Amino acid sequence: MNRKSIPTNIVRRLWAQCGGFCQNPNCNKYLFAEVEDKAVSLTNVAHIIGYGKSGPRSEHELANRIDRHGINNLIMLCLQCHKIVDELEDQFSVEQMQEWKATHASKINSLFDLPQIHDEKILLEQVNDLLYENRVIFEEYGPFSTQAFEGLSGDTYTVWRRRCLDTILPNNQRIIGLIKANKGNFIYPWEVYRQMMKYELHSDSFRDNCLLEKKVNDYKLFPKEFDDFVKQKLGIAIEGREHKSEEELEFRQATVLDYIEKFLANHSFIKRMEKLNIAMFDVELQDGRNLRVFATNTYFFTEYTFNQTIAVDPAVDAIICSNPYGTYTLEAKELCINHRIGLFTLKTFMGAIHKDGDEFLNYLLNEEKYRRISDSQSLLRQATVPSEFQVYIFGSYLRKELYKDIDLILVYPTETESDVISSTVESIKQTFNDKLMLLDITICSDIEYETMSFEDDNRKRLQ
């Protein structure tokens, strides 16, 4: 059952309205939790009028006129509240949930009441203080910090994620808000406002990559020119940007080499590793294969980064995002696979080299596989599934990083009524669809299930 995803600009506006908190006024739970070294999103983008003909509140008079994926029909709730309002739909009307959303958004806006400032120097001093706070956090804990490359416990990344959510994102919002709120207090055209526009593009991309599961492909880097402009207007001395950039590049490249060699040089499946230049390695594996490996310290590897890499070396076999926080867009991963090039984090590469062909290119870490199983079990618990039913998950979702859909098997007792089976299937689909996950469900009786055979059996029981 396919359905379009909610557009990024809509999700962005929803996050702005909720401020990171559940919009149920009786809950207001913070929508992120810290589990060990990871920040986990607890949020569901919930439909006020449910998706489909049988979705929650779908009989409301607005059902046939409203855009189900539009901003006016969506609300940010924690997992628990989402389950409650859908299962007890009669107790939570469309009008009540719309009121929740409007009241919550007003409260969030009131927290960011922005002063009217008529002195440009005072305004820019406030902006500079916020930029400086962001910079200190980035240099101390960010993806290119010394701690990021030297720390092995994961604590640095945890602190970085927390500071992104509780400090950098609000600071970015306030910087942009201050300038926009005071635009009318200065002579048009106001150069401060024009310079801020590039910063806003970066801020939007940074927020999306912090909050959304799907990373933004066209990621806008921090515009150093904006920081320079603010300091120049305030008469603050600026470091030699060109010299500073060269120092940073040398540091990052040297650190990447140390990081790569630290983890790969003694890998049991690597027979020999030769450095060809600052970023290229020739890696000979124990099974006789040779891989031409390109190591990049890019924070977000995108389709644009891929084109740059291929321009440097079209014969590359594998690309490693070696930055400890580094990741890549799914579009870039798919592009690499289509070109028969492996795209990995360093950790994934160390496992993938044991595989060959498609298993190498689309390798899935065991920990990611078990996370997917755990997430699927959590989703299934939100659906209404009779205890005597069995549910299995299998297929490419548990085998490949990029997959087409999620394969489930629903096994029911032979004497089960057809309407019970139908309602169970619909409940499962609704729950997974709310997370924009494409399902392929095989439905069979327990007797039929016993006769089924699987060519490459990787079934895991969810219930």
Q: Cis before residue 170, ω within 30 degrees of 0?
A: no
Query: H or E segment at 319?
Result: strand 318-321
**b or e along 61-85 (b: 16 or more beta carbons within 10 Å of the residue's beta carbon)?**
eebeebebbebebbbbbbbebbbbb
Pairing of strands 300-301, 318-321: unpaired
pLDDT of residue 165: 78
What pLDDT score does 250 carry?
Answer: 47
Residues 24-29: contacts with CB under 8 Å, at least 24 apart: 24/77, 24/78, 24/81, 24/85, 24/100, 25/100, 25/103, 25/104, 27/77, 27/78, 27/80, 27/81, 29/78, 29/80, 29/81
Q: What is the pLDDT of residue 247?
A: 47
pLDDT at residue 343 in the model: 96
Q: Classify 61 in phi/psi space as left (phi over 0), alpha (psi -120 to 50) or beta.
A: alpha
What would the pLDDT profile of 9-62 be if each residue is shown by its tens digit? 787 788 878 878 899 988 888 787 655 545 556 567 888 988 767 778 888 888
Q: Residue ranges per domain, the chain?
A: 8-111, 120-238, 245-361, 377-461
The CATH code belonging to domain 377-461 is: 3.30.300
Residues of the chain with pLDDT under 50: 1-3, 37, 243, 247-251
CB atoms within 10 A of CB 450: 9
Assign 427 to helix, strand or coil: helix
Q: pLDDT digits over 318-346, tens only?
A: 999 877 777 888 889 999 999 999 999 88
